[in-house]
Amino acid sequence: MSIHPSAVIAAGAQIPESCTVGPFCTIGPDVVLGESCVLISHVVLDGRTRIGARNVFHPFCAVGVSPQDLKYRGEPTETMVGEDNVVRESVTISRGTVGGGGVTTVGSGNLLMTCVHIGHDSHVGSHCILANAATLAGHVIIEDFATVGAFSPVHQHCIVGKYSFIGGGTIVTQDVLPFSKTSSRRENKAFGVNSVGLERRGFSSERVRALQKAFRLLLVSKLNTTQALEKMRELEGEDVAQLVSFIEKSERGVIK
């Protein structure tokens, strides 16, 4: 095991021999690391934190730290991180709260860029990109393959749909449609299908065209949302069905 002599590791922490712990890292007693993780330097892992294999933590990130919630009284809540994530400098991930389910989760294969914040009881899926200073308030859900642009805050209890792309500097206060491009000029708007991102993820041209038809009904036609949903249900394809289901289940409303 490669542990720098300046690292502070509490008794009880579980660290496989394949891990590398760099200088001035601090690991709490209830932390469990997976195989081949790398802590470059000045990394803080705290609380009841379970981390999968092959994650890389860059300097000054803090994972599993206490939530920024005035109601928190030190309850033994958790943080769970999957595999193959890259956590860049100064990222903060807060553990859960009792009122919010007790756990904050991050999936696998994500890139969390510099100064990203993942608030308590938030759930980030897999293969997501959170760009510099993207900020998730508590209780946010980021579905798989989503991209949140730089300096974009996401309001509590919002859901960012899978395969969506949020442009930099967008203030998200409602749910973001799956498969969409959403950005802020004077006000937040959805700008149709994230076609480039979908193609990069292996979507066929037929799947993209089906989604484009659905988005035209939702965003371009003069139909209201209820009328557009009726027409969208007539279209074929599992992706369109998932889009319809997302809209129907949204509690905060969706950005159109």
Q: Looking at the annotation, which residues are catalytic?
A: 120-121, 138
* Residue 40 backbone class (left: φ over 0; alpha: ψ -120 to 50; beta: rest): alpha
- How many of the other CB atoms lie within 10 Å of CB of 59? 16
Give the separation between CA 86 and CA 62, rounded to whole angstroms.
13
Give the separation between CA 39 and CA 28, rounded to whole angstroms.
14
Among 83, 105, 109, 108, smallest CA distance to 96 is for: 105
Q: Please list the residues that pair with 48 across neighbouring strands.
A: 78
3-state secondary structure of 243: helix
- What's the Rg (C-alpha) of the chain? 20
Give the separation between CA 79 and CA 87, rounded to whole angstroms.
14
Give the separation between CA 57 and CA 67, rounded to whole angstroms.
20
- Beta-strand relationship, 188-193 and 180-184: antiparallel
